[in-house]
Homo-oligomer: A and B are copies of this chain.
Amino acid sequence: MSTLVYNFGDGTADGSQKLKPLLGGKGASLAEMSRLGLPVPAGFTITTEVCLNFFANDGLWMDGLSDDINTAMNLLEERTGRKFGSPTNPLLVSVRSGAPVSMPGMMDTILNLGLNDKTVEGLAAQTGNPRFAYDAYRRFVKMFGDVVLGIHYSLFNRVETNYKRGKLDDELSVEDFKALIALYKKVIHDEKMTIPDNPKEQLQLAIDAVFHSFNNRHARHFRKKQGIPDDTGTAVNVQAMVFGNMGAESATGVCFTRNPKNGEKVFFGEWLPNAQGEDVVAGTHTPLPLNAASSDNPDANTLEKAMPEVYAHLLELQAQLETHYKDMQDIEFTIEQGKLYLLQTRTGKRSPSASIQIAVDLVHEGLISKEEAIRKVEASSLELILRPVIDPNAPKTIIAKGLDSSPGAACGRVAFTSEAAQALHEKGEPSILVRLDTSPEDIQGMTVAEGIVTAQGGQTSHAAVVARGMGKPCIVGCTEIVVDYERELFYAGDYVIKKGDWITIDGGSGDIMEGKVNTLPPATESGVVQEFLRWADEIALLKVRTNADNGEDASRARELGAVGIGLCRTEHMFFQADALRAMRQMLLAPSEEGRRRALQQILPLQREEFKEIFRAMNGLPVTIRLLDPPLHEFLPKRKENIVALAEDLGLRDSALQDRLTQLHEVNPMMGHRGCRIGVTMPEIYQTQVRAIFEAACHLARENVVVMPEVMIPLISTAKELEICRSYVVEVAEETMTRFGCNIDYKVGTMIELPRACLQAKAIARQAEFFSFGTNDLTQMTYGFSRDDMGKFLPFYLQEGILKENPLSTFDVEGVGELVKIGTERGRHANARLKIGVCGEHGGDPNGIHFFHAIGLDYVSCSPFRVPVARLAAAQAALVERT
Binding site for B on A (CB under 8 A): 665-672, 676, 679-680, 714, 716-717, 719-720, 723, 752-755, 758-759, 776, 779-785, 787-789, 791-792, 795-796, 799-802, 811, 813-815, 817-818
Q: What is the distance, in angstroms, from A400's C-beta to the closest C-beta of chain B?
A: 38
* A755 touching B779, Cβ below 8 Å: no
Q: How far is the CA of A818 from the CA of B783 in the complex (A)?
A: 14
Whether the Cβ atoms of A783 and B753 lie closer than 8 Å is yes
- Cα–Cα, bound, A801→B779 (Å): 24
Q: In the complex, what residue of chain B is closest to A787 when comparing beta carbons? A: B666
Q: List 12 A-B contacts (CB under 8 A).
A: A666-B787, A667-B668, A667-B787, A668-B788, A670-B785, A670-B788, A679-B792, A680-B791, A716-B781, A716-B814, A754-B818, A780-B780
Please measure, in the bound complex, the distance between the C-alpha atom of A817 and the C-alpha atom of B785, giving whole angstroms. 24
Q: Which residues of B contact A787 (CB under 8 A)?
A: 665-667
Q: Is the CB of A788 within 8 A of B666?
A: yes
The distance in angstroms between the C-alpha atoms of A876 and B289, with both chains bound, is 83
With A671-B784, A717-B801, A754-B781 given, name 10 new contacts (CB 8 A): A666-B785, A666-B787, A667-B668, A672-B792, A714-B783, A720-B801, A753-B781, A755-B814, A758-B818, A780-B781
Q: Which B residues touch A668, using CB under 8 A?
A: 666-667, 788
Q: Which residues of B contact A781 (CB under 8 A)?
A: 716, 753-755, 758, 780
Number of chain copies forming the complex: 2
Cross-interface CB contact of A782 among B679, B753, B789, B813, cutoff 8 Å: B753
- Report yes or no: A791 in contact with B723, Cβ–Cβ below 8 A: no
> What residue of chain B has the Cβ atom nearest to residue A791's Cβ?
B672
Shortest CB-to-CB span from A695 to chain B, Å, is 29
Contact of B716 with A788 in the complex, beta carbons under 8 Å = no
Rounded to whole Å, the gap between the CB of A802 and the closest CB of chain B is 7
Bound Cα distance from A791 to B667, whole angstroms: 12
- Going nearest first, the 7 A-B pairs with the smallest beta carbon separation are A671-B788, A670-B785, A666-B787, A667-B785, A672-B791, A753-B783, A754-B754
- Which interface residue of A679, A719, A752, A782 has the most chain B CB atoms within 10 A? A782
> Do B723 and A814 touch across chains, with their CB atoms under 8 A apart?
no
Residues in B with CB closer than 8 Å to A672 are: 788, 791-792
Q: In the complex, what distance in Å separates the CA atom of A672 from the CA atom of B792?
A: 7
The contact of A783 among B679, B723, B780, by CB within 8 Å, is: B780
List, in ascending order, chain B residues with CB within 8 A of A791's CB: 665, 671-672, 676, 680
A801 and B719 contacting across the interface, CB-CB below 8 Å:
yes
Q: Which of B679, B754, B795 contacts A801 (CB 8 A)?
A: B679
- A800 to chain B: which residues have CB within 8 Å? 719
Are A783 and B788 in contact, CB atoms less than 8 angstroms apart? no
Q: How far is the CA of A676 from the CA of B720 in the complex (A)?
A: 34
Partner of A795, one of B679, B753, B792, B796: B679
A525 nearest CB across to chain B (Å)? 38
Contact of A759 among B754, B788, B814 (CB under 8 A): B814
Q: Are B783 and A755 in contact (CB under 8 A)?
A: yes
A713 CB to closest chain B CB (Å) equals: 10
Closest to A817 in B: B758
Q: Which residues of chain B are within 8 angstroms of A785 by Cβ–Cβ distance?
A: 665-667, 670-671
Interface-central residue, A716, A754, A776, A792, by most chain B CB under 10 Å: A754
Interchain CB contact (< 8 A) of A716 among B723, B754, B782: B782
A811 vs B759: C-alpha distance when bound (angstroms): 12
Q: Which of A666, A670, A787: most chain B CB closer than 10 A? A: A670
Given the interface contacts A717-B802, A779-B670, A788-B668, does A680 sit within 8 Å of B795 by beta carbon? yes
Q: How far is the CA of A776 from the CA of B784 in the complex (A)?
A: 12
A590 CB to nearest B CB, Å = 16
Partner of A670, one of B714, B784, B796: B784
Q: Are B679 and A796 in contact (CB under 8 A)?
A: yes
Q: For A716, A783, A813, which residue has the most chain B Cβ atoms within 10 angstroms?
A: A783
| Given A801-B720, A813-B759: A783 touches B792 (CB 8 Å cut-off) | no
Tell me, rounded to whole Å, the shortest Cβ–Cβ distance linking A36 to chain B. 46
